[in-house]
Amino acid sequence: MYFAHCKTLTLSTALIALGIDGAAQTPAHAADSWSTPVLPPAGCGSFSGAQPNAVAVNAAGELALVGSLQTDAGFTVQICTSGDGRHWSGPSTIGQGIQPAVAIAPDGRIVVIWQWTSGVLSNTEASVRAPGGSFSTPVIVSPNTGRPVIGMDGSGNAVAAWAHLNLSEPVETASLPAGGNWTAVRTLAARGGGVNLAVNAVGGAILTWRSAGLIEAASGTIQGGFGPPVQVGTAYGGLSEQISPHVALNDAGAAFLAWDSHDDNEVVSRNAAGTWSPPTKLSGPTPSGIRIAVDGAGNALAAFSETTVNGNPTYASLRPAGGTWGPPVPLSTLTDTGHVSDVVGDGKGTFVVAWTSGIGAAAVVEALTIPPGGGLGPSTAVGSAPFMTLKIVPGHAVLWMGAGLSTGAGLSTETVP
């Protein structure tokens, strides 16, 4: 089922609010053209707890969707693959565990990493599929465990990290060179949580996490490892410790990091030389999540939600390369009860923002695609599901809406400039 409803924010009004001359610089933005959501075979349309399935896409449009399916024997890691987002193979069982993460190389090589647990013992395991081959027998990457994240560069080299949200385990990382074996595990922090990872096509990497009221980040490369962590900001030390900071990195080395500090949403930037800026407050005093993206030229877009007495609206703020953050512009109505999910950007200058409008069974997934040089035009209601994952590579955007609802769930794709 395709949702044809669109919310429209007058383009010229949005651009004026962001300090951009729309008439002189920006072409009209056409409505998004997302495909009808398609559910993959049963087994890949599941999720464990509140974590949605992990999805990966490469520039050829090849897709990998991995989830954790509960059976009588425990949780099994299941994967489905597709060449177009409509026709799927699988599911294939590749291991036992929960919280899987996945990356796919330009040549189709797939790496999956997850948290293995028997109810008493636990570790971090991974499996690899060569192009056109089968998944390898799982290997133990670390005897410690946590919710993993993974990223891959343009040559197929991968890096992963993991830690528990509740700060009960160390922040660890390891790399997997293309065609090689996992490196020795390195501990970056004795305790941390909410790890988030950004990598670029040339092998750069930034890892960030929360640690005892601090926001920390480590910069480095996939194959060379990370440097010492640095403190980039502070955050509320209570329940919001369980909300992950979010980091974005482009191929030139420009990076942006955003987090919910409990009192406001804050962002910092890092230049190509590796120096982090002081924090900038984008909203307050009642934030409810923020995501950030950067394009190849260094333009950044932040999307965030605010809790008010009338609703939970979603906003966006633009920072032109070398400039400062513009004023927040509402993407939803001020009485909306949704929540921002993600924002992504690619090297060519396309941004996509996705958020939920409404809650529970009434939730609708809204997406706004901003082409290079474009503005905050109308959004499209793509489907309906409480959880989602958004990815972009040059030419392709992918939106996974977690199963659990029979209408509007599945995977939708869009061709982007």
pLDDT in tens, 209-233: 998 789 999 999 999 999 999 999 9
Tell me the average pLDDT across 302-321: 90
- Pick the more confident residue, 337 or 414: 414
pLDDT for 132 equals 86
Q: In sequence order, what are the residues at sequence separation of 6 or more whose Cβ sits closer than 8 angstroms to the Cβ of residue 3? A: 364, 380, 381, 382, 383, 384, 408
Tell me the average pLDDT across 331-339: 85
CATH number of the structural domain 6-43+139-415: 2.130.10
pLDDT for 42 equals 72
Tell me the average pLDDT across 279-286: 84
Least confident stretch, 87-91, 333-337, 390-394: 333-337
Residue 121's Cβ-count burial label (10 Å; 0-12, 13-18, 19+) is exposed
pLDDT for 405 equals 44
Question: Which tens digits make up the pLDDT trace of 348-398?
Answer: 999 999 998 877 667 789 999 999 988 887 889 998 766 678 999 999 999
Please say if the pLDDT value at position 14 is more than 60: no
Which helix (H) or strand (E) segment holds residue 195: the answer is strand 186-199
pLDDT for 244 equals 81
Tell me the average pLDDT across 79-91: 90
Tell me the average pLDDT across 125-132: 95
Q: Judge whether 223 and 175 are in contact, CB under 8 Å.
A: yes
Tell me the average pLDDT across 242-262: 90
> What are the residue boundaries of the structural domains of the chain, listed by start?
6-43+139-415, 44-138
- Rounded CA-CA distance 9/320 in Å is 20
